[in-house]
Amino acid sequence: MPTHPYKNKAGERVPGVTTVIGGNLGWNKQALMYWANQVGLDGKNHRDVSEKAANIGTLAHAMIEADLKGQEFDISKYDRDMVDKAETAYLAWLEWKGLVKFSLLESEKPLVSERYQFGGTLDIAAIKMVTAIVDLKTSNAVYPDHQIQVAAYGQLWNENYPDNPIGAYYILQLGKEDGSFHYHYWPSLEKPWEAFKALLILHKLKKEIK
């Protein structure tokens, strides 16, 4: 989904969760380099492949958001191949939604942490026995940085809604090729949150080192 400009109460711009993680965490770079090399050996441009996958993911997110809000979604302006893959992921979403039967609290909710000075947009906050965050992924795997991302969203929610804290964290992986879904659950993400705080410190220090 489009990036929101996050601002604190003083009107100052603060970094987003994905900016902090993407600009400072190098754990997956070797895997990404291997993937880019393999794509090149297959005669494709890795930037084109990556951009197309991102667009499919964005479209699937938009379809899901429309579903959550009870709205129709116009697919006529999108490439047919991209729509087919996004719809496959969307069908996996419908299957999961019917299975877990959660109660929606918020979707695409932008929040800012005044304490730690960062922002982020939660895919879904819902009640499924307890208040939970559900983060949607159309990637082929779930990586440690995804846990860090969701942990940061948990902090955003808990700081802004202290009377209704997060009791469960979910990453819902939707298959854009086969319509499968896999969901990963954690009752807490203390270590990933500590990792995010370290990345946030590094993000701020980089601006001070000339």
- pLDDT tens across 69-88, in order? 899 888 887 878 888 888 99
Whether pLDDT at 9 is above 90 = yes
Integer-rounded Cα Rg, in Å, for the chain is: 18
The larger pLDDT score, comparing residue 10 to residue 30, is at 10
Write out pLDDT tens, residues 19-42.
999 888 765 555 545 434 444 555
Largest CA distance in the chain: 54
The per-residue pLDDT for 34 is 47
* CA separation, residue 208 to residues 21, 127, 190, 196, 205 (Å): 18, 41, 28, 19, 5
Name the pairing type of β-strands 130-137 and 118-128: antiparallel
Tokens (6 digits) for 108: 């695409």
The per-residue pLDDT for 54 is 60
- How many Å apart are CA 178 and CA 129, to the nearest integer? 29
Q: How many angstroms separate the first and last alpha carbons of the chain?
A: 33
The per-residue pLDDT for 8 is 96
Determine whether domain 22-206 maps to CATH 3.90.1150.10. no
